[in-house]
Structure 1
Amino acid sequence: MWKRRAAHDREPECFHWRIVMSFLSNVIRARLQTAAQRMEQNTISILRGKLSSWGLSIPIGCLGPVVFTVSSSEVRTFSDWKREAKGRYATHNVMGGRPVLEFLGTDLQTITFTMRLSVFLGVNPANEAAKLRQLCEDGTSMPLVIGNEPVGENNWIVESIGEETQEWDNNGNILTSTLQVTLKEYVGDMIVLGGDYDLAMEGDEES
């Protein structure tokens, strides 16, 4: 004859099922969000393609005032995108043993890319290069956005820009050029308290 289980004996089983149901709910919610995101991305991709075929300039991102666009009438975009992130380590020599590494933190990230600019693609190469060169010389920090999403948690500065001209017209105007752009993550100005700036810099050099 089966004995009726007490209420407190059923609590672990109920608790187990609550965990299972919560897990399943989270999985279903995550799957639905993923499906919705894919649908949104596909829709945006289709719209971009349609508008571009009609000659409308569609922004794919921006670096501050520099807007990256692609259409049948204007191309201002990049290629050879490379992003580098690395850590900072101090090396401590050990007598009779291998050096020991100490993790100091993350280093500033860098991004490099190439821009091919041409009057035959609807842009003025000289003006575009001058705009990026001015941002570099002014030390302007600005957000970098690609595909409606910010790249990284901080702003970026144009660390360097190299320009190579391929074609000129008979009046000395640039027809086609290639820019090599290097961006560096910009965290902000150093705040030193107590007048220990020299000491802080010495410690940084030793590391």
Structure 2
Amino acid sequence: MHIHHLLEQNSVANKFISQLRDVNIQNDRMRFRRNIERLGEIMGYELSKNFSYEAKDIQTPLGTASLGLPTEEIVVCSILRAGLPLHTGLLNYFDDAENSFISAYRHHPNNDEEFEILVEYLASPSLEGKTLVLADPMLATGRSFVNVMKALERMGTPKHIHLVSVIGATEGIEYIKEYFPQDSHLWIATIDNKLDERGYIVPGLGDAGDLCFGTKLQH
């Protein structure tokens, strides 16, 4: 797997990440969602550099210009519900992409710290021969990405796979490397080194879904 770590180089993305982490700012839900959306735009731009392009002649009022335009058939798939703002950011750049939505959540069957990832909803076009962009803002244990990809298998085999995440843990990244093809790509804004005993990223930012959309009743 090819890892693309956005914050290895300083950019305006640092500001968006800092506001997402800041407890004095992150409770502004609209700003929180918008910062995730903006990071989706930035990573969409970066990953587009890996697409295939074909020269096209464009007629202007004064002549003809030749431009390389992407030839990829793109499907943007977000993991509900926290993935929705990231999905929007990607769609702002890939406005003609097809869309896929899938649910994944932590289920605690024994009401303790142990959990399993359940996938209960999927709406998707065919993925056969297309470029799949799979979006989830938090890459903690990596199990959500893996279980979602298993659920998507019946939709066809993508030609290329790009994972997009805002904050990840080293442990989760190592986990997904075992399950995704070697030529797949992970685009991630920043990487933290630690998971706590509940499997949450430290220092992380908390529960992205709750910060985007409000707290939920636990399953």
TM-score (norm 2): 0.26
For the pair shown, the structure with the greater C-alpha radius of gyration is: 1
TM-score (norm 1): 0.27
